[in-house]
Amino acid sequence: MDLGISGRRALVSAASKGLGRGVAEALAAAGVDLVINARGAEALNATAAEIAARYGVKVDAVVGDITEPETRARVLAAAGAVDILVTNAGGPPPGHWQTWSRDDFLRAIDANMLTPVALMQACLPGMIERGWGRVVNITSAAVKSPIAELGLSNTARAGLTGFVAGTARQVARNGVTINNLLPGLHATDRATALDAGAAAREGITPAEAAARRAAGIPAGRYGTPAEFGAACAFLCSAHAGYIVGQNILLDGGAFNATL
C-alpha cells in the first residue's frame, strides 16, 4: 500500500532503538526523510546510517536528552518544517506509590507529558499553516489499564492523553491529526528490563518471566517494533486524515473488553 507520504519530513524523538526505531524505519520505508534523536551517540548514529542506507532517505541525527529544553531546541532547529511528528521518550522506572517523591513525579511528568506537549506546541503552528500534519504520541497501554508498579507512567501519560483529547479536536479542521498509540508488551530493551525486574521479584529467570507475561496475552507473544512502526506509519499516512484524537491499543488483545 502506498502511504502517500513519500518526500514528507518527520521528526521522531527517542528513536535509536525499540519502538521509536521501529517507527523511524517504517516511515523511511514509505519514503519519508527523518530527524531522529536519542541520548547515546553511538547507537543513534549507527541507526541513522543504517536507515539512510537501507531506504535511501535523508536521516539527520541529533544527540541529546529530549526532556531537556536545550536538546529540544537543537532537535527542532534540525527538523525545520516537519509534516510528521512522533513523540517518544523513555518510560519512568517501576516502584511503589508510597515511595515516590515530588521530584519523581516531576521527572515523569516532564518526560512523558510536558516533553511531547512542548514538541507539539513547536510543530503544530507550521503544520496548521501548511494545511497538513500528522502527530502520533507513543504512550502506553497503562493509560487504559493501569500497571500499578508503573504509577509514575500511569500518572504522566494520563495528563498527556487529556491534552491530546482537546487539542486534536482544535487542529483537525486544518488537516492536522493528533493520535496516541498505546503499546502493550513489545520486545524491546525496555521489556527486557521489566522482565528482569519481574524475575527478581518472583525468584525466576528473566526468560521464565517473559514466558509468563507472554502467556497472558491473547496473541501469545510480545509485539515487535516493526509491527508497531507499521501501525504508526499508517496513522501518519495520507489515508488517515479522518482518524482524530484516538487512543489506539497495540497489545495483542491483552486489554480484555468488548469495546
Interface residues with ligand NAP (CB under 6 A) are 14-20, 37-40, 43, 65-67, 88-91, 138, 140-141, 183, 185-186, 188-191
Shorter beta-carbon distance to ligand NAP: residue 139 or 237: 139
Q: Which is nearer to ligand NAP, 108 or 127 (CB)?
A: 108
Q: How far is the CB of 246 from ligand NAP (least distance, A)?
A: 17
Residue type, 115: T
Closer Cβ to ligand NAP, 171 or 231, answer by number: 231
Q: With CA atoms as reference, report the closest residue to 140 among 155, 157, 152, 156.
A: 157
Q: Distance (Å, rounded) from C-alpha 229 to C-alpha 17?
A: 12
Which residues are 135's β-sheet partners? 85, 178
Q: How near is the Cβ of 175 to ligand NAP at its closest, in Å?
A: 27
Give Rg (Cα) of the chain: 18
CB of 77 or CB of 170, closer to ligand NAP: 77
Give the DSSP letter string of 37-49.
EES-HHHHHHHHH
CB of 193 to ligand NAP, least distance (A): 7
Taking the alpha carbons at both ends of the chain, their separation in whole angstroms is 28
Q: What's the closest the beta carbon of residue 174 comes to ligand NAP, in angstroms?
A: 28
